[in-house]
Structure 1
Amino acid sequence: MAGSTIGNKFTITTWGESHGKALGVVVDGCPAGLPLCEEDIQVFLDRRKPGFSQFSTPRKESDTIEILSGIFEGKTTGTPISMMVRNTSQRSGDYGDIATYYRPGHADYTFDEKYGFRDYRGGGRSSGRETIGRVAAGAIASKILKELGITITTYVSSIGDVHIDRNNFDADYILKNDLNMPDPDAYEKASILLQDCMAENDSIGSGVECIVHGMPAGIGEPVFDKLDACLAKAVMSIGAVKAVEIGDGTEVSTARGSYNNDAFVMNGYNVDKETNHAGGILGGMSDGSDIIIKAHFKPTPSIASTQKTVNKSRDNIEVSIRGRHDPIIGPRAVVVVEAMTALTILDLIFENMSSRMDKIIDFYK
C-alpha cells in the first residue's frame, strides 16, 4: 500500500490497523536537541482517545504512547523517531458478518476493488484509529512550532444545524466540554441534538475550525505546493472529511471584490490587514495573519438504523451495523485536524529555510 507517508522535509509514515496488535508512526526530519518525552505526546493522544465521553464509542483504550527510538537523555537525536500505541480492547467478533457485505458510507467496496482483499475488523487501515500516528507526530510538530511562537487553536464550530456564536467564543471552554465547542450555549443545544440522534440509532455531521496564530509571512510555495493546497490535502486525508475551507471559504463565490479584498495597513513598522477574508494565505503563501481552516466531517457511517446495501454475492440486502461507534466524528477529530495542520506548516517552514540566498549566507557565515 502506497500513500502512508506525508511531508518532504519533516516526514511521517503511519502504520497499523484498528484491530491489529498496535498502531504507530515513524517521524523523520526532526531536528536534534528538542526536549521530548512521552508525556508531551500523551497529552495530545488523550484528546482523541475513545470511551471517555457520552458521545464517543464505548470502546475503552488507554492509548498509551511508547517512544521506541530517536530520543536520548530527554532530547531528540536527529534520527527517526518511532512511536507506538498498543491495542488492548479489540473485539473483532463484532465485525465478523461485515466480511460478507459492504457497509454503506465505508471503504469496504473500494478496498475490495483495489486490493481484492480487506481487513474488515473495524475498517483496518481506513479506521479512525489510524489517526493515532498522525496525532503523535503532530504533537512533535506542535512543540517545534511553539518554540517559534506559533500556536494553534482548534474546536468544533458546528454540529448539524447548531453553530457557535462568535460573540460567545470562550477558548478556555473548549477543553471543558466533551464536544470541544467554545460556546456554552451551542454546546447545550448540540448535546440535545446528539442525544436525539443516538435515540434514533443515527449519527450527524460536524464542522471543525482551526486557527493558526503567530505565522510569519512568506511560508508556502506559489505554484503546486501552495500553503492552502498543502493544508487542504493534509486535512482532506483525514477519514470522513468531505470539504475544506480557507478563510471565507465557499462564501467568496458570492462576494464582491470590494468586500473580499483585505486592505493592507501599517501597524507600526509591520504590514497588517484590516480584515482576513483570505484566511491568512495569499498567492499560496502565508501573509502574517491568522490562518483559518474549516473541515467538514460527514456523519459517522456506522449506524444501527437499517440500511440498504449489497453483499459480495451481489445480492441486495438490508443491514444494521453492530459494534462500537461514535455518533459524531468532529469532537474527537479536533486534535487530528490540529495535528495535520501543524505537520503541514512545519514541513513548509523547513522548506522555506532555503528560499533566499541572503538567509543561507547569514546562517552559514
Structure 2
Amino acid sequence: MSTFGSLYRVTTFGESHCKSVGAIIDGCPPGMRLTDADVQVQLRRRRPGQSALTTPRNEPDLVAIQSGTEQGITLGTPIGLMVQNTDHRPHDYSETDLYPRPSHADYTYLEKYDVKASSGGGRSSARETIGRVAAGAIAEKYLKEVYGIEIVAFVSGVGKVHVPRTLGGDEDEILTPDYMKLLNTVTRDDVDKNTIRCPHADSCEKMTELITSTAAKNDSIGGTVTCVIRGVPSGLGEPVFDKFEAKLAHAMLSIPATKAFEIGSGFQGTEATGSAHNDPFYAKPDGKLGTRSNWSGGVQGGITNGENIYFRIGFKPPATISKEQATSTYAGVPGTLAARGRHDPCVVPRAVPIVEAMAALVVMDMTLLQEARQAARARLATLNLPPGMGRAGVDQMIEEVKKDEAQ
C-alpha cells in the first residue's frame, strides 16, 4: 500500500510522469515551526540533475505545503505536501508499449493492475520518493528539536569499490576502529563535499571513475548506502513483530532498487565468536548503562539500547539502460530493446537523503508510540512489583548490594 507508519502516518501519491507528486502526513505534533524551506533542504539533495553522475532530468522539485500549518506553525491536522513535475516526458518511453524493460517493474505492474503507466513502472519510479523525503524532513525536524537525534547516510560502496570496513585475516575481527569512528563522527557536511556523497576520499575517487566509465558504456552499476542514527533514546521498538530493526528493514526495502539490508555488524558478525561479538555493559556518567562495543547496532531484542544505530542497504544497478539488450515483447516475441529516457547510471548518490528520510519516519513513529505507552503507564498507581521485576525494585536491590559491600 501507499501508507507507512502507525501514529506518524505518511501516504505518498504520484507517478513519474504525472502532473505532481507529494504526500499527506497525519500525526505530526502541533506547535512546531514549519515552513517550505525546512522541507526543501532535503528535496534539494534528492533532486535529479545534480551532476554528470545522475539523470539529466531537470526538475527543481519545489515543495509547497498545502495544509496543516498556519503562520508557520503545525496545527496537528494532516499536512499536505505537493511538488509539480515540470520536466515529465512520457513519450520518451514509447518503446515500453511493446517491451517490458528487463528487471524493471513494467511487467509486474501490468500483471498486478492490468493497466500500466505510460512510463512503464509509474509508481515504482524513484520520483515517488519525493513524498517520503518531504515527510522525513518534517519528522527529522521534530526529532532534532525534541531529542537531539542526528541521522547521517553516506555512500559506502559502488560496485566492488567499498569504504574499508575490515582488515581481513582475523577470524574474530568485526569492523575496524577507523570505520566505527567514521560512523560516530561523520556529518552531512562531510558527505556533501563531493557528488558521490562518500566521506572517504580514496574510495570516492575510485567510485567516481567507476560510475563514469560505466555510464560511458550506456550501462549502470549498483552500490551500498550506510546510515547512522545518533542520539536515539533507549526503549524504542514494538516486539515481537514490529521490532525496531524489523520496521527499519521494512522501511529501507520499500525504497526503489533496494535488494539487501543489514544492521550492526550484519553478515560480518556471523563470522565472529560470541565472546568477540557480545557488547559488555558499563555505567555511563549519567547513570545509565552503555555498551563498550556496539556490534548490535544499537538494537537488542528489537528494542533500542541508547547506542548509535547503524545499518547498510544494498541497491541494484538501475534497470533502465540505453545499452541494447536481447529480450522479449509482452507477447513473448524475441527482440532487442535499447531504452530511451533519462536515468541514473548509479542511484546511490541520490539515495542518501531517501535513506535518511525513511530512517526518520521509523524513529518518529517509534518515539510517538513509546511516548504514548509511557504516558499511559504514568496514569497508573505505583505498582508494588516483586524485587527484580520493575525498575524501582532493581534499583532497590542494587542499593542493598552496595550497602552490603560497604559493610
TM score, norm. by length of structure 1: 0.96
> In 2, distance between residues paired with 1:20 and 1:265?
55
Which structure 1 segments of 5+ residues have no match? none
Work out which of the residue numbers 349, 352, 356 in structure 1 matches 2:367.
Answer: 349
> In 2, distance between residues paired with 1:222 and 1:274?
25
Partner of 1:295: 313
Shift in Å, 1:266: 1.4
> In 2, distance between residues paired with 1:278 and 1:41?
32
Partner of 1:216: 233
Deviations 1:23-59 (A, max 9, x none): 0100000011010000000001000100121100000
Shift in Å, 1:123: 2.5
> In 2, distance between residues paired with 1:353 and 1:267?
24
Deviations 1:251-288 (A, max 9, x none): 23222111111111112212111111110000000010
- Which residues in structure 2 correspond to 1:252-291 (within 5 Å)? 252-268=269-285, 269-291=287-309
> In 2, distance between residues paired with 1:128 and 1:219?
29
In structure 2, what residue type is equivalent to 1:42? Answer: Q
Shift in Å, 1:321: 1.3
Kept in 2: contact 1:220–1:286 (CA 8 A): yes
Kept in 1: contact 2:109–2:121 (CA 8 A): no
Q: Residues 194 and 7 from structure 1, CA distance in 2 versus in 1: closer, same or farther, beyond 3 angstroms?
A: same
Shift in Å, 1:358: 7.2
Partner of 1:154: 153
> In 2, distance between residues paired with 1:281 and 1:52?
35
TM score, norm. by length of structure 2: 0.86
SS in 1 for 2:83: strand
> In 2, distance between residues paired with 1:331 and 1:256?
35
Kept in 1: contact 2:95–2:339 (CA 8 A): no
> In 2, distance between residues paired with 1:181 and 1:229?
26
> In 2, distance between residues paired with 1:253 and 1:165?
18
SS in 2 for 1:46: helix
Work out which of the residue numbers 318, 323, 337 in structure 2 matches 1:319.
Answer: 337
Kept in 1: contact 2:96–2:120 (CA 8 A): no
- Which residues in structure 2 correspond to 1:125-164 (within 5 Å)? 125-147=123-145, 148-164=147-163
- Which residues in structure 2 correspond to 1:1-365 (within 5 Å)? 3-121=1-119, 123-147=121-145, 148-165=147-164, 167=178, 169=182, 171=187, 172-268=189-285, 269-356=287-374, 359-361=377-379
> In 2, distance between residues paired with 1:357 and 1:302?
49
Report percent identity of matched pairs: 46
In structure 1, what residue type is equivalent to 2:31? Answer: G
SS in 2 for 1:191: helix
> In 2, distance between residues paired with 1:359 and 1:213?
27
> In 2, distance between residues paired with 1:249 and 1:57?
31
> In 2, distance between residues paired with 1:204 and 1:174?
20
Q: Which moved more, 1:199-208 or 1:39-48?
A: 199-208
Deviations 1:60-84 (A, max 9, x none): 0000001000010110000000000
> In 2, distance between residues paired with 1:132 and 1:122?
19
> In 1, distance between residues paired with 2:100 and 2:376?
57
In structure 1, what residue type is equivalent to 2:207? Answer: A
SS in 2 for 1:323: coil
> In 1, distance between residues paired with 2:372 and 2:345?
46
In structure 1, what residue type is equivalent to 2:307? Answer: S
> In 1, distance between residues paired with 2:219 and 2:294?
37
SS in 1 for 2:192: helix
Aligned-residue CA RMSD (Å): 1.5
> In 2, distance between residues paired with 1:305 and 1:267?
57
Q: Which moved more, 1:218-227 or 1:302-311?
A: 302-311
Matched pairs, number: 360
Shift in Å, 1:121: 1.5
SS in 2 for 1:275: coil
> In 1, distance between residues paired with 2:218 and 2:278?
45
In structure 2, what residue type is equivalent to 1:43? Answer: V
> In 2, distance between residues paired with 1:79 and 1:13?
14
Shift in Å, 1:165: 4.0
Kept in 2: contact 1:100–1:311 (CA 8 A): yes
> In 2, distance between residues paired with 1:357 and 1:128?
38
> In 1, distance between residues paired with 2:351 and 2:120?
17
> In 1, distance between residues paired with 2:209 and 2:254?
30
Question: Which structure's CA Rg is the greater one?
Answer: 2
Shift in Å, 1:357: 6.5
In structure 2, what residue type is equivalent to 1:334? Answer: V
Kept in 1: contact 2:106–2:120 (CA 8 A): no
Deviations 1:211-238 (A, max 9, x none): 0000111100120010000000011000
Shift in Å, 1:359: 4.9
